[in-house]
Amino acid sequence: MRDVMHLEQLEQAEALFKPQRIEVLRRLAEPATCSEVAEQLGQTPQRVYYHVKRLVEAGLVTQVDERKVRGIHEGIYQATARSYWLSPTLVGRIGGLRRTRDDLSLGYVLDLMEEVQTDIAALDRSAPELPSIGVSGEIRVPPDRRREFFEDLRGTLQDLFSRYGGSEGDAFKLAVACYPKGDQTHD
């Protein structure tokens, strides 16, 4: 089972847009039969099989084994991943907005996050080593010092790009996003 599956096909996303299928998918975090899942959910095995069949068609569930019960072959299924990411390309930009070039806009941050999500999803998670780092924190900047803060941040990053921007060594992508925190209450 993979940790994350990046969904880029509309059929895969549509398979998840039914609450009952999401519940079936959750129950299949561990291998189980449709009868076992049906018992857990208080549904008929036929109803669960219908949802499992759709999830298998979408590549979200696989049959991992089979057993014979009272002369009937019963499939044992498991989710293909622990979590699923919906690609932003499934929705696209509402209203046909163009990719923004203003690096101080929220549109640019959204474009950047989509790019990061796509890049991470494309990584080979079977590789023995995927060196990476994630840093998150909160900074409080008085409105009259906002421009100074952005210039300092840009300068610091430009310094890193200059020092490590050569053609030697492993290539890493650095993406930094700075955006207003949702809760704007002040102490």
pLDDT digits (tens, 9 = 90+) for 48-95: 999 999 999 999 999 999 998 888 889 999 999 988 888 777 766 444
CA distances from residue 55 to 25, 61, 84 in whole angstroms, order as listed: 8, 5, 13
- Give yes or no for residue 32 having a pLDDT over 90: yes
Length of the chain measured in residues? 187
pLDDT tier for residue 17 given thresholds of 50, 70 and 90: confident
Distance (Å, rounded) from C-alpha 76 to C-alpha 32?
Answer: 5
- Give yes or no for residue 136 having a pLDDT over 80: yes
The answer to whether residues 67 and 74 touch, using CB atoms and an 8 Å cutoff, is: yes
The arithmetic mean of pLDDT across residues 131-143, rounded, is 88
* Among 115-119, 135-139, 182-186, the least confident range: 182-186
This prediction's pTM? 0.60
For residue 42, the tally of other CB atoms under 10 A from its CB is: 6
The answer to whether residues 4 and 118 touch, using CB atoms and an 8 Å cutoff, is: no
